[in-house]
Amino acid sequence: MALPTAASELVRYELRGPVAILTMDNPPVNVVTAGVLERLVARLAEVEAEPAARVVVLASASAKAFGAGANIKEMAELGPAEAARHGGRGQAATVALERLPMPVIAAVNGSALGGGCELALACDLIIASEDARFGQPEINLGLMPGWGGTQRLPRWVGPSQARYWIMTGRSVSAKEAEAMGLVLKVVPPPQLLESAIALAEELAGKSSTALAAAKFAINHAIAPGADAALAYELELWHGLFATPDQKEGMKAFLEKRSWSPATRPRPGPSGKAKN
C-alpha cells in the first residue's frame, strides 16, 4: 500500500480503502512544472499497479489553486524542439489520466487555468468548489493550449464555447462551468474533497472491469481519432515557440506588464508578415 509522502514530492499519494487520492503539492499555487507532470505520471503508474485501488481522486494541496497553469519561467526561452519535448510531457500526463483503466475524479478548487485546466479536462468527472475558476488563457501569451485542451474542451463544453474560451483567454466560474456541463457538481470549499471521495466510493462499489470498459468505450465514442488529433495539436503548439508573439507575450508576463500584439503585422500563408 502506498503511504502519504512528503510535500516535496510534488504529487502525494494516499490510498483510502479503494480510493487513491493524488494530491498535487507544488506551493504556493500548484504551478504545473515539468517535475509535477513527471511525478503525476509516475504516481498514476503506482495506482494502476495497486490491486486495492479502484477509483482515483485528483486534488490540490493549495487553497488557492488546483493548478495555476504551466511554469512560464520554465517555458519562456524554449525553442520549438524543446517545446515539443515539454508539450510531450504535458500530453503524457493528460493521456495517462484519460487512459487509466479506472475512473478519475478531479476535485477542483481555486484556479484551474492553462495546464491546470487541461489536467482537469483529462479526468472523467469534475467536482468543483464554489471558488473554482476554469480557463485556457494561453492566447494572452501568444500561444494556444498544447496539452490536449484544444481536443478535450470542445467535447466538454461544445465547439462554440471552446472557441470562445481559447480565442479570448477568458475564465469561467464553477457555476458557469456546471451550466455548460463541464462540472458535475459545485460544493462549498470545505466539502470538496469529501464530496469527491464519496462519489469515488460509490463508483468503487461497481465492477472495476465494467467501469474500465465503459470509460474506454465512452472515450472512443467522443474521440475516435484522439492520437492523431493530439499529435496535430502538439505540432501547432510547439511551432508557436518560433514566433515573436510567444517570446514577447511570455516576457511581458514575467515582467508583469501589459502586452498586445494588435499592432504587429499579421503573418501571411508562408509565415511572412503582410504589408
Q: Is residue 117 within a helix (H) or strand (E), and if so which, with residue range? A: helix 115-121
Helical packing angle, 149-157 and 159-168, nearest 10°: 130
**DSSP letter for each residue of 167-232:** HH--EEEHHHHHHHTS-SEEE-GGGHHHHHHHHHHHHHTS-HHHHHHHHHHHHHHH-TTHHHHHHH
Whole-number Å distance between alpha carbons of 274 and 267: 6
91 neighbors 55 (Cβ within 8 angstroms): no
Backbone angles phi, psi at 33, to 5 degrees: -80, 175
Catalytic residue among 74, 82, 98, 138: 138
Catalytic site includes residue 118? yes
Catalytic site includes residue 202? no
Catalytic residue among 82, 98, 118, 248: 118
140 neighbors 254 (Cβ within 8 angstroms): no
Q: What is the chain's alpha carbon radius of gyration, rounded to the nearest angstrom?
A: 18
The residues annotated as belonging to the active site are 118, 138
